[in-house]
Amino acid sequence: MNELLTPFATRPLDNSFAPDEYQDARAFYDREGFVVIRGLITRNACAAVRDALAQEVRPSRVPILRQQNMKYERNRFGEHGLLENPIFNVQDLDDRSHGAFRRAALQALTGEAVARWTACLLAAPATKLIQSMFFEAPAGTWAHQDSYYQDSATGLGQCVAGWFALEDIEEDAGRFYVCPRSHKALAVIRNEGALDFALGHDVYKTVVQEAIAAHGWQLHAPALKQGDVLFWNSLTVHGSFAGGGRGASRTSLTAHYLADEDEMLQFHTRIRRQKMVTYNGMRVGLLHDQSRLRNRLVRDAAFRFPRAYALARRAALTALLRLPRGKASAVVRDAG
Ligand SMILES: O=C(O)CCC(=O)C(=O)O
Protein backbone atom coordinates (compact mmCIF):
# COMPACT_ATOMS: atom_id res chain seq x y z
CA MET A 1 0.00 0.00 0.00
CA ASN A 2 1.50 3.32 -1.00
CA GLU A 3 -0.65 5.49 1.24
CA LEU A 4 1.60 7.56 3.49
CA LEU A 5 0.93 8.37 7.08
CA THR A 6 -0.48 11.84 7.43
CA PRO A 7 -1.04 14.19 10.35
CA PHE A 8 -4.74 13.41 9.88
CA ALA A 9 -4.31 9.67 9.96
CA THR A 10 -4.57 9.55 13.74
CA ARG A 11 -7.55 11.94 13.75
CA PRO A 12 -9.60 10.54 10.91
CA LEU A 13 -12.77 12.47 11.67
CA ASP A 14 -11.11 15.86 11.57
CA ASN A 15 -11.52 16.23 7.84
CA SER A 16 -15.16 15.22 7.65
CA PHE A 17 -18.38 17.03 8.38
CA ALA A 18 -22.09 16.29 8.46
CA PRO A 19 -24.23 17.64 5.60
CA ASP A 20 -25.47 20.57 7.71
CA GLU A 21 -22.11 21.79 9.08
CA TYR A 22 -21.66 24.46 6.45
CA GLN A 23 -19.67 27.02 8.40
CA ASP A 24 -17.05 24.70 9.90
CA ALA A 25 -16.67 22.71 6.70
CA ARG A 26 -16.22 25.86 4.63
CA ALA A 27 -13.52 27.14 7.00
CA PHE A 28 -11.77 23.75 6.80
CA TYR A 29 -11.99 23.75 2.99
CA ASP A 30 -10.56 27.26 2.75
CA ARG A 31 -7.65 26.32 4.98
CA GLU A 32 -6.88 22.76 3.77
CA GLY A 33 -8.01 22.89 0.13
CA PHE A 34 -10.44 19.96 0.55
CA VAL A 35 -13.22 18.70 2.80
CA VAL A 36 -15.23 15.49 3.19
CA ILE A 37 -19.00 15.63 3.65
CA ARG A 38 -20.36 12.37 5.01
CA GLY A 39 -23.51 10.79 3.59
CA LEU A 40 -24.35 13.56 1.11
CA ILE A 41 -25.66 11.14 -1.52
CA THR A 42 -28.45 8.73 -0.63
CA ARG A 43 -27.95 4.97 -0.83
CA ASN A 44 -30.69 4.80 -3.48
CA ALA A 45 -28.94 7.37 -5.65
CA CYS A 46 -25.64 5.44 -5.40
CA ALA A 47 -27.39 2.15 -6.18
CA ALA A 48 -29.15 3.67 -9.20
CA VAL A 49 -25.79 4.50 -10.83
CA ARG A 50 -24.37 1.05 -10.05
CA ASP A 51 -27.49 -0.68 -11.42
CA ALA A 52 -27.42 1.33 -14.64
CA LEU A 53 -23.72 0.54 -14.98
CA ALA A 54 -24.48 -3.18 -14.76
CA GLN A 55 -27.53 -3.20 -17.01
CA GLU A 56 -26.70 -0.59 -19.61
CA VAL A 57 -23.03 0.41 -19.70
CA ARG A 58 -21.37 -2.98 -19.25
CA PRO A 59 -23.05 -4.75 -22.19
CA SER A 60 -22.72 -1.75 -24.51
CA ARG A 61 -20.26 -1.75 -27.41
CA VAL A 62 -20.68 1.96 -28.15
CA PRO A 63 -17.33 3.83 -28.05
CA ILE A 64 -17.13 6.39 -25.24
CA LEU A 65 -14.65 9.21 -24.62
CA ARG A 66 -12.22 8.19 -21.86
CA GLN A 67 -10.66 10.18 -19.03
CA GLN A 68 -7.11 8.85 -19.22
CA ASN A 69 -6.33 9.46 -22.89
CA MET A 70 -9.25 11.45 -24.35
CA LYS A 71 -9.81 8.69 -26.91
CA TYR A 72 -13.08 7.09 -27.95
CA GLU A 73 -12.85 3.48 -26.82
CA ARG A 74 -15.15 0.54 -26.19
CA ASN A 75 -15.39 -0.72 -22.61
CA ARG A 76 -12.29 -2.57 -21.46
CA PHE A 77 -12.58 -4.97 -18.53
CA GLY A 78 -9.64 -6.21 -16.45
CA GLU A 79 -9.03 -9.67 -15.08
CA HIS A 80 -11.38 -9.00 -12.15
CA GLY A 81 -14.15 -7.79 -14.46
CA LEU A 82 -13.91 -4.09 -13.55
CA LEU A 83 -14.31 -1.33 -16.14
CA GLU A 84 -10.74 -0.19 -16.71
CA ASN A 85 -11.19 2.85 -18.94
CA PRO A 86 -12.90 5.61 -16.92
CA ILE A 87 -15.63 7.60 -18.68
CA PHE A 88 -15.13 11.29 -19.46
CA ASN A 89 -18.20 13.54 -19.13
CA VAL A 90 -21.21 11.37 -18.28
CA GLN A 91 -23.43 14.28 -19.36
CA ASP A 92 -22.22 13.87 -22.97
CA LEU A 93 -23.47 10.27 -23.24
CA ASP A 94 -26.23 9.50 -25.71
CA ASP A 95 -29.60 8.88 -24.06
CA ARG A 96 -30.40 6.23 -26.66
CA SER A 97 -27.53 3.98 -25.56
CA HIS A 98 -26.78 5.21 -22.03
CA GLY A 99 -29.88 7.11 -20.88
CA ALA A 100 -30.45 5.34 -17.55
CA PHE A 101 -26.79 5.68 -16.57
CA ARG A 102 -26.61 9.32 -17.65
CA ARG A 103 -29.76 10.19 -15.71
CA ALA A 104 -28.68 8.34 -12.55
CA ALA A 105 -25.22 9.93 -12.62
CA LEU A 106 -26.61 13.45 -13.18
CA GLN A 107 -29.16 12.86 -10.44
CA ALA A 108 -26.29 12.24 -8.00
CA LEU A 109 -24.16 15.13 -9.29
CA THR A 110 -26.85 17.82 -9.41
CA GLY A 111 -29.09 16.95 -6.44
CA GLU A 112 -30.25 19.67 -4.09
CA ALA A 113 -27.82 18.79 -1.28
CA VAL A 114 -24.86 18.83 -3.67
CA ALA A 115 -26.00 22.14 -5.18
CA ARG A 116 -26.13 23.68 -1.70
CA TRP A 117 -22.60 22.51 -0.94
CA THR A 118 -21.02 23.64 -4.19
CA ALA A 119 -22.71 27.04 -3.73
CA CYS A 120 -21.39 27.22 -0.16
CA LEU A 121 -17.81 26.32 -1.11
CA LEU A 122 -17.75 28.75 -4.03
CA ALA A 123 -19.64 31.41 -2.09
CA ALA A 124 -22.00 31.68 -5.07
CA PRO A 125 -25.80 31.91 -5.21
CA ALA A 126 -25.90 29.02 -7.71
CA THR A 127 -23.41 26.72 -9.42
CA LYS A 128 -23.12 24.79 -12.67
CA LEU A 129 -21.47 21.49 -13.55
CA ILE A 130 -18.81 21.76 -16.25
CA GLN A 131 -17.09 18.37 -16.34
CA SER A 132 -17.45 14.86 -14.89
CA MET A 133 -15.89 11.39 -14.84
CA PHE A 134 -16.88 7.87 -13.84
CA PHE A 135 -14.51 5.24 -12.38
CA GLU A 136 -14.86 1.59 -11.46
CA ALA A 137 -11.34 0.09 -11.51
CA PRO A 138 -8.41 1.83 -9.75
CA ALA A 139 -6.99 4.46 -12.09
CA GLY A 140 -3.68 5.56 -10.57
CA THR A 141 -4.32 9.10 -11.77
CA TRP A 142 -1.16 11.26 -11.84
CA ALA A 143 -0.85 14.08 -9.32
CA HIS A 144 -2.10 17.40 -10.72
CA GLN A 145 -3.93 20.64 -10.08
CA ASP A 146 -7.23 20.73 -12.01
CA SER A 147 -6.39 24.30 -12.94
CA TYR A 148 -3.95 23.03 -15.60
CA TYR A 149 -6.89 21.46 -17.50
CA GLN A 150 -9.80 23.70 -16.54
CA ASP A 151 -10.54 26.39 -14.01
CA SER A 152 -12.61 29.50 -13.51
CA ALA A 153 -12.34 32.40 -15.96
CA THR A 154 -13.08 34.72 -13.04
CA GLY A 155 -10.05 33.66 -11.03
CA LEU A 156 -7.85 30.59 -10.69
CA GLY A 157 -8.97 28.49 -7.72
CA GLN A 158 -12.63 29.45 -8.03
CA CYS A 159 -13.62 26.01 -9.30
CA VAL A 160 -14.59 23.22 -6.92
CA ALA A 161 -14.65 19.49 -7.65
CA GLY A 162 -16.24 16.54 -5.87
CA TRP A 163 -15.27 12.86 -5.63
CA PHE A 164 -18.51 10.92 -5.06
CA ALA A 165 -18.10 7.48 -3.45
CA LEU A 166 -20.87 5.24 -4.80
CA GLU A 167 -19.76 2.34 -2.58
CA ASP A 168 -17.42 1.94 0.43
CA ILE A 169 -13.91 2.47 -0.94
CA GLU A 170 -11.47 -0.13 0.39
CA GLU A 171 -7.90 0.76 1.27
CA ASP A 172 -6.44 -1.04 -1.76
CA ALA A 173 -9.06 0.15 -4.27
CA GLY A 174 -6.95 3.02 -5.58
CA ARG A 175 -8.12 5.66 -3.15
CA PHE A 176 -8.25 9.32 -4.14
CA TYR A 177 -5.70 11.51 -2.35
CA VAL A 178 -5.07 15.22 -1.82
CA CYS A 179 -2.06 17.20 -0.61
CA PRO A 180 -3.59 19.33 2.18
CA ARG A 181 -2.87 23.06 1.95
CA SER A 182 -1.16 22.71 -1.45
CA HIS A 183 -3.76 25.10 -2.94
CA LYS A 184 -2.07 27.92 -1.05
CA ALA A 185 1.50 26.64 -0.77
CA LEU A 186 2.09 26.04 -4.48
CA ALA A 187 2.09 28.69 -7.17
CA VAL A 188 -0.13 27.62 -10.06
CA ILE A 189 1.85 25.45 -12.47
CA ARG A 190 0.93 27.02 -15.80
CA ASN A 191 -0.13 25.17 -18.90
CA GLU A 192 2.43 26.80 -21.18
CA GLY A 193 5.87 26.56 -22.75
CA ALA A 194 7.72 23.32 -22.02
CA LEU A 195 4.86 22.22 -19.76
CA ASP A 196 1.98 22.70 -22.16
CA PHE A 197 -0.71 20.06 -22.58
CA ALA A 198 -0.02 19.47 -26.28
CA LEU A 199 3.66 18.54 -26.05
CA GLY A 200 4.75 18.92 -22.43
CA HIS A 201 2.14 16.91 -20.48
CA ASP A 202 4.70 14.37 -19.22
CA VAL A 203 7.03 17.20 -18.16
CA TYR A 204 4.09 18.73 -16.26
CA LYS A 205 3.47 15.45 -14.41
CA THR A 206 7.15 15.30 -13.39
CA VAL A 207 7.14 18.91 -12.20
CA VAL A 208 4.13 18.20 -9.95
CA GLN A 209 5.89 15.12 -8.50
CA GLU A 210 8.95 17.25 -7.84
CA ALA A 211 6.83 19.88 -6.09
CA ILE A 212 5.32 17.20 -3.82
CA ALA A 213 8.81 15.96 -2.93
CA ALA A 214 10.25 19.46 -2.48
CA HIS A 215 7.46 20.46 -0.07
CA GLY A 216 7.51 17.09 1.70
CA TRP A 217 3.75 16.83 1.30
CA GLN A 218 1.81 13.85 2.59
CA LEU A 219 -0.67 12.19 0.25
CA HIS A 220 -3.84 12.19 2.29
CA ALA A 221 -6.42 9.59 1.23
CA PRO A 222 -9.47 9.63 3.53
CA ALA A 223 -11.51 6.45 3.81
CA LEU A 224 -14.75 7.24 2.00
CA LYS A 225 -17.97 5.36 2.60
CA GLN A 226 -20.88 5.04 0.19
CA GLY A 227 -22.54 8.45 -0.20
CA ASP A 228 -19.56 10.49 1.07
CA VAL A 229 -18.27 13.32 -1.10
CA LEU A 230 -14.76 14.77 -0.96
CA PHE A 231 -14.68 18.32 -2.33
CA TRP A 232 -11.41 19.94 -3.37
CA ASN A 233 -10.18 23.21 -4.83
CA SER A 234 -8.92 23.48 -8.42
CA LEU A 235 -5.48 24.48 -7.09
CA THR A 236 -5.19 21.54 -4.65
CA VAL A 237 -2.70 18.90 -5.79
CA HIS A 238 -4.45 15.51 -5.96
CA GLY A 239 -4.48 12.16 -7.74
CA SER A 240 -5.26 8.53 -6.96
CA PHE A 241 -3.29 5.44 -5.99
CA ALA A 242 -2.87 2.30 -8.05
CA GLY A 243 -4.99 -0.61 -6.86
CA GLY A 244 -3.70 -3.44 -4.71
CA GLY A 245 -4.28 -6.06 -7.44
CA ARG A 246 -7.06 -7.86 -5.53
CA GLY A 247 -9.83 -6.53 -7.76
CA ALA A 248 -11.33 -4.06 -5.25
CA SER A 249 -13.54 -1.55 -7.09
CA ARG A 250 -13.84 2.21 -6.53
CA THR A 251 -17.21 2.91 -8.12
CA SER A 252 -17.29 6.69 -8.12
CA LEU A 253 -18.10 9.86 -9.98
CA THR A 254 -16.17 13.10 -10.01
CA ALA A 255 -17.54 16.45 -11.08
CA HIS A 256 -16.23 19.99 -11.45
CA TYR A 257 -18.37 23.05 -10.67
CA LEU A 258 -18.22 26.79 -11.24
CA ALA A 259 -20.38 29.67 -10.06
CA ASP A 260 -23.30 29.77 -12.47
CA GLU A 261 -22.36 33.12 -14.02
CA ASP A 262 -18.69 32.09 -14.46
CA GLU A 263 -17.09 30.56 -17.58
CA MET A 264 -14.69 27.66 -17.99
CA LEU A 265 -11.07 28.63 -18.58
CA GLN A 266 -9.49 25.76 -20.49
CA PHE A 267 -5.73 25.00 -20.43
CA HIS A 268 -5.08 28.46 -18.91
CA THR A 269 -5.64 29.61 -22.47
CA ARG A 270 -9.17 30.12 -23.68
CA ILE A 271 -12.66 30.58 -22.45
CA ARG A 272 -14.51 27.48 -23.51
CA ARG A 273 -18.19 28.14 -23.87
CA GLN A 274 -20.38 25.08 -23.45
CA LYS A 275 -23.83 24.15 -24.65
CA MET A 276 -25.89 24.08 -21.44
CA VAL A 277 -28.73 21.82 -20.39
CA THR A 278 -30.54 22.00 -17.08
CA TYR A 279 -30.81 19.03 -14.77
CA ASN A 280 -32.49 19.20 -11.34
CA GLY A 281 -32.40 22.99 -11.64
CA MET A 282 -28.61 23.04 -12.13
CA ARG A 283 -27.05 23.99 -15.46
CA VAL A 284 -24.79 21.31 -16.92
CA GLY A 285 -22.18 22.03 -19.61
CA LEU A 286 -21.72 19.66 -22.55
CA LEU A 287 -18.53 19.31 -24.56
CA HIS A 288 -19.03 16.35 -26.92
CA ASP A 289 -22.81 15.87 -26.75
CA GLN A 290 -23.46 12.42 -28.24
CA SER A 291 -27.09 13.18 -28.96
CA ARG A 292 -25.86 15.33 -31.88
CA LEU A 293 -25.26 13.56 -35.17
CA ARG A 294 -22.17 15.67 -35.93
CA ASN A 295 -20.52 14.58 -32.68
CA ARG A 296 -21.40 10.94 -33.29
CA LEU A 297 -19.77 11.14 -36.71
CA VAL A 298 -16.62 12.58 -35.10
CA ARG A 299 -16.75 9.79 -32.51
CA ASP A 300 -17.06 7.07 -35.16
CA ALA A 301 -14.18 8.52 -37.19
CA ALA A 302 -12.03 8.89 -34.05
CA PHE A 303 -12.79 5.31 -33.06
CA ARG A 304 -11.98 3.89 -36.49
CA PHE A 305 -8.85 5.99 -37.01
CA PRO A 306 -7.47 6.61 -33.51
CA ARG A 307 -3.96 7.56 -34.62
CA ALA A 308 -5.17 10.11 -37.16
CA TYR A 309 -7.60 11.53 -34.58
CA ALA A 310 -4.88 11.78 -31.92
CA LEU A 311 -2.54 13.52 -34.37
CA ALA A 312 -5.23 15.97 -35.50
CA ARG A 313 -6.16 16.71 -31.88
CA ARG A 314 -2.55 17.26 -30.91
CA ALA A 315 -1.98 19.59 -33.89
CA ALA A 316 -5.07 21.63 -32.97
CA LEU A 317 -3.99 21.83 -29.32
CA THR A 318 -0.44 22.79 -30.26
CA ALA A 319 -1.73 25.60 -32.46
CA LEU A 320 -4.01 26.81 -29.69
CA LEU A 321 -1.44 26.62 -26.90
CA ARG A 322 1.29 28.26 -28.98
CA LEU A 323 -0.86 31.27 -29.85
CA PRO A 324 0.21 34.45 -28.06
CA ARG A 325 -1.74 34.43 -24.77
CA GLY A 326 -3.83 37.49 -25.59
CA LYS A 327 -5.00 35.99 -28.86
CA ALA A 328 -5.63 32.56 -27.39
CA SER A 329 -7.78 33.86 -24.58
CA ALA A 330 -9.86 35.70 -27.15
CA VAL A 331 -10.67 32.41 -28.85
CA VAL A 332 -14.20 31.70 -27.74
CA ARG A 333 -15.67 28.51 -29.07
CA ASP A 334 -19.10 27.14 -28.82
CA ALA A 335 -19.05 23.51 -27.95
CA GLY A 336 -21.51 20.73 -27.35
O1 LIG B 1 -10.11 9.61 -8.99
C2 LIG B 1 -9.20 9.76 -9.79
O3 LIG B 1 -8.47 8.84 -10.14
C4 LIG B 1 -8.89 11.12 -10.37
C5 LIG B 1 -10.00 12.12 -10.33
C6 LIG B 1 -9.50 13.49 -10.70
O7 LIG B 1 -8.33 13.77 -10.65
C8 LIG B 1 -10.41 14.54 -11.13
O9 LIG B 1 -11.62 14.30 -11.25
O10 LIG B 1 -9.93 15.67 -11.36
Looking at the whole model, is its pTM more than 0.85?
A: yes
Residue 173 Cβ contacting ligand 1 at under 6 Å? no
Q: Which atom of ligand 1 is nearest to the CA of 256?
A: 9
pLDDT digits (tens, 9 = 90+) for 229-268: 999 999 999 999 999 999 999 999 999 999 999 999 999 9
pLDDT for the residue 322 = 75
Instruction: State the Cα–Cα distance between residues 68 and 90, nearest whole angstrom.
Output: 14
Q: Which atom of ligand 1 is nearest to the CA of 140?
A: 3
Ligand 1 centroid to Cα of residue 115, in Å, is 20
Residue 231 Cβ contacting ligand 1 at under 6 Å? no
Residue 139 Cβ contacting ligand 1 at under 6 Å? yes
Instruction: State the Cα–Cα distance between residues 306 and 65, nearest whole angstrom.
Output: 12
Neighbours of 322 (CB within 10 A): 14
pLDDT digits (tens, 9 = 90+) for 13-26: 468 999 999 999 99
Mutate which of 87, 130, 254 to test ligand 1's pocket (most atoms within 8 Å of Cβ)?
Answer: 254
Ligand 1 centroid to Cα of residue 168, in Å, is 17
Instruction: State the Cα–Cα distance between residues 13 and 26, nearest whole angstrom.
Output: 16
Please report the domains of the chain, with CATH numbers, ordered by start residue: 12-330 (2.60.120.620)
Ligand 1 centroid to Cα of residue 179, in Å, is 13
| Dihedral sign for Cα atoms in the order 172, 175, 180, 185 | positive
Instruction: State the Cα–Cα distance between residues 102 and 24, nearest whole angstrom.
Output: 33
